[in-house]
Amino acid sequence: MGELSHVDESGAARMVDVSGKAVTARAAVATGTVRTTPDVVALLRRDGLPKGDALATARIAGIMAAKKTPELIPLCHPIALSGVKVEFELGESDVVITATVRTNDRTGVEMEALTAVAVSGLTLHDMIKAVDPRAVLDGVRVEHKHGGKSGEWDR
Amino acid sequence: MGELSHVDESGAARMVDVSGKAVTARAAVATGTVRTTPDVVALLRRDGLPKGDALATARIAGIMAAKKTPELIPLCHPIALSGVKVEFELGESDVVITATVRTNDRTGVEMEALTAVAVSGLTLHDMIKAVDPRAVLDGVRVEHKHGGKSGEWDR
Amino acid sequence: MGELSHVDESGAARMVDVSGKAVTARAAVATGTVRTTPDVVALLRRDGLPKGDALATARIAGIMAAKKTPELIPLCHPIALSGVKVEFELGESDVVITATVRTNDRTGVEMEALTAVAVSGLTLHDMIKAVDPRAVLDGVRVEHKHGGKSGEWDR
Amino acid sequence: MGELSHVDESGAARMVDVSGKAVTARAAVATGTVRTTPDVVALLRRDGLPKGDALATARIAGIMAAKKTPELIPLCHPIALSGVKVEFELGESDVVITATVRTNDRTGVEMEALTAVAVSGLTLHDMIKAVDPRAVLDGVRVEHKHGGKSGEWDR
Amino acid sequence: MGELSHVDESGAARMVDVSGKAVTARAAVATGTVRTTPDVVALLRRDGLPKGDALATARIAGIMAAKKTPELIPLCHPIALSGVKVEFELGESDVVITATVRTNDRTGVEMEALTAVAVSGLTLHDMIKAVDPRAVLDGVRVEHKHGGKSGEWDR
Amino acid sequence: MGELSHVDESGAARMVDVSGKAVTARAAVATGTVRTTPDVVALLRRDGLPKGDALATARIAGIMAAKKTPELIPLCHPIALSGVKVEFELGESDVVITATVRTNDRTGVEMEALTAVAVSGLTLHDMIKAVDPRAVLDGVRVEHKHGGKSGEWDR
């Protein structure tokens, strides 16, 4: 059985020293799903009309949150992100969020991708909560990573 | 059918004017679940030993994130939080996170409670990802609200 | 001739004590203009099609920046904003930005409105700079204020 | 006619992937002008006396804002700034602000230079607004860039 | 013997609920001392000449840090500061820093005053470290508080 | 006698250009001491029991503050930290804090280590202030640095 990577042998939290790791191109993809009602999805689709900002707001929130990851997750390293993409897929009564994050740095970017998904999802919740206060953010998880020592990883 | 509350009739996003709303005591409770493995839960329990910081790190991250909500969710109002609590319940292969947020202000604090839950959950993911990269954050949702015009609300 | 309000008699900067000022409903409107080319304005109009995010991105950036004003302008007081609106008017070769900010607090919100305009304008610059690197942000100024001791003020 | 660089073919905003771009020494110079009254310029000059902090406050605000650019401009990459300089030139009834920003990174720093100018200008506005509420920030624009694929660029 | 106020009976950290506390005018004064060399103090005095920004930079840093206290100290409440002042007294080989913070809110502002002193002191350290890398920040402490249930408190 | 490194010959503050400096592995160690009472130290030791979060909170606050250094200290460069460690040693009536910070970058990290120590110390103060409002943070200073042109440096 492995060990928690962010606490030392005495149990104390620390930001692990990564100076010895190689600077390589890395990417991570994470997804999550906002479960809501067909009515809300219809409102979001209608948002596809000129100037409808609901999905754009959630997308921007996700991209900006990816940059804030080291401020939010205490033991994450500050990382020079080289690209962030947030995509939505509208289902019958849900919205699937996919975030792709790229870097050239010493650690992976799965936390950045997860943070983009979670904050996009919460922003959607905020936009729709007057119509559906029961919305749920489900299944926030890493789908794919590559780069670094561990190479390619798929869920 | 209602309307998205954060976009105006032309579809443009805005921070809704709440000057007319009353300053009242308000609270919100949100929950979420990190699904992982029995091995990880055992590691987190062992963290119950002296100086084990894993759960404390996730708790602090959640409390600090509640304060950051208006920086993360674009259309949220800055709010004077008067109290934040983050609790964990360790199951067989999951951790249930409950956040309770209180304020005396003009708008509700469900987004603050949801943000505390989501960032606590992502921080747990960060602590355990070397052992269980497949962990999933599920069921992030509001359980209870009170205060303001709508009074008591339970899921 | 008046005095600079944020430096004391010895010339030292300070955040002026406003404890004695009344909590009242206050608002401020600021404007500014991004001068660019007819081609760029055409691209932004085309953005009026489904999912075109350029103007939405600038709008969200302006709203979020209003909330960040006390972090950016060293001697500004932290203020509980109760509403923020950012509007664009596309001309032949320019975009006029108007920001309206409301609060119930002890100081005015003209700096918040100016910050929303400036950051919206810079974000537009960022979106269009590959097409028009010569774009200029002009005329950032307060148009109107009300609330507080000085009452109504128009440019 | 070119295309907006921060939206994809479907119109969705994204942080463009720059992993393929070279790390080179880059610099950008931006300027802007605060138009005010001869009285205000006289007050700022008097600030040249010992401990007068008005211009220093605006300078520090500009330097700190350059570092905050990726937090303010949604699609800007986080960048490792290697130097920032903000200079003021007092005219008869205006203050010309010049910001110079340097980096060794994968993208240019014109947004950082523009942000330093804009926030310096707004901070000056904040310092002088009790004396001249009609002050205007004009002509915020890039003057010069070098480094990267496009080499030297002058306005 | 009292108890740590920010952990509950099980030892878990939380942001204590202050909804029941009264909104009153409160103030706190904190001090600290940067111990350095007579040479450095002479350089800082010379900074008293036109445009010398060293002390102004430290002063601005302290004022801005007071506003950032709830972002830095995990269990501090966000507070509406109504005034911040940072003063320096140059001795033979030291600089005494005094910060005064005022609010109208539900909790005291001693942490804000301490944070202003500490960050001003660190900023001075940063300015002088090329000349005196051995500088020490000493005696950071609360001198005086008033307002709230406990009334007047002097060291 | 040397010169203040962050002001130019005219006295103006600037972020010094470090583009010419080499990217090397660098580290810095700083310490500081919270002087309090034997009773408080006993409470903190008792915190060594399961789930006692007081020291963990201060540790996390210090690690997160190291990442915030360029936001707090106006002329510090943004730096890619590769590791941060914060340790406590409980004495009879004091707590000694030691922070170790590592990077691979163009400038040293002593300001990051000092900031981690200061914010950890202030967080401890916040946790214990109900029991000992007279606590003092003393002796915040650099103990050791290495990397860069100046090589090894010990106090």
pLDDT, tens digit, 9 for 90 and up, residues B109-119: 999 999 999 99
Q: For residue B100, give every residue at least 6 positions away whose Cβ sits within 8 Å of its Cβ, in sequence order, or none.
A: B27, B28, B29, B83, B84, B85, B87, B113
Q: What is the mean pLDDT of chain A?
A: 92
Q: Tens digit of pLDDT for each residue in B58-103?
A: 999 999 999 999 999 999 999 999 999 999 999 999 999 999 999 9
Contacts of residue B116, defined as CB under 8 A and 6 or more positions apart, other chains included, come to B30, B62, B63, B65, B66, B84, B86, B99, B101
- In the set F8, F39, F53, F126, the catalytic residue is F126
A 10 A CB-CB count for C132 gives 19
CATH number assigned to the domain with residue range A36-148, chosen from the 4 options 3.40.1350.10, 3.10.129.10, 3.30.70.640, 2.40.50.100: 3.30.70.640
Chain E: residue whose CA lies nearest to D45: E50
Least confident stretch, C105-114, D77-86, F2-11, F77-86: F2-11
Class of the domain covering D24-145 = alpha beta
Pick from F14, F80, F105: CB nearest D84: F14
**Residues tagged in the binding site annotation of D for substrate:** 75-77, 111-112
The predicted pLDDT at position E50 comes to 45
Size of the A and F interface in Cβ pairs below 8 Å: 51
Summarised one tens digit per residue, pLDDT across range D88-143 is 999 999 999 999 999 998 999 999 999 999 999 999 999 999 999 999 999 999 99
Q: What fold, for F24-149?
A: Alpha-Beta Plaits (3.30.70)
Smallest CA–CA distance from A104 into chain D, residue = D19
CA dist., res. D78 & res. A66, Å (int): 11
Rounded CA separation A88/A62 (Å):
11
Find the helix packing angle between F54-72 and A54-72, rounded to 10°: 110
DSSP E strand boundaries for C10-107: 24-35, 81-90, 94-105
Identify the architecture of domain B24-147 in CATH.
Answer: 2-Layer Sandwich (3.30)
CB pair distance less than 8 Å for B14 and C80: no
Q: How far apart are CA C51 and CA F126, in angstroms?
A: 48
Alpha-carbon radius of gyration of chain A: 17
The minimum CA-CA distance between B132 and chain A, rounded to whole Å, is: 9
pLDDT, tens digit (0-9, with 9 covering 90-100), for C42-55: 999 876 554 468 89
Q: What is the pLDDT of residue C2?
A: 64
Higher pLDDT, F139 or D48: F139
Yes or no, beta carbons of B63 and E15 under 8 Å apart: yes
Distance between F147 CA and the closest CA of chain E, angstroms: 15
Of the partner residues D7, D72, D129, the one whose CB lies closest to the CB of residue C119? D72
Q: Which residues of A touch C64 (CB under 8 A)?
A: 64
CA distance A137 to A120: 10
Q: Which amino acid is at E114?
A: L
Could you tell me if the ipTM is greater than 0.85?
yes
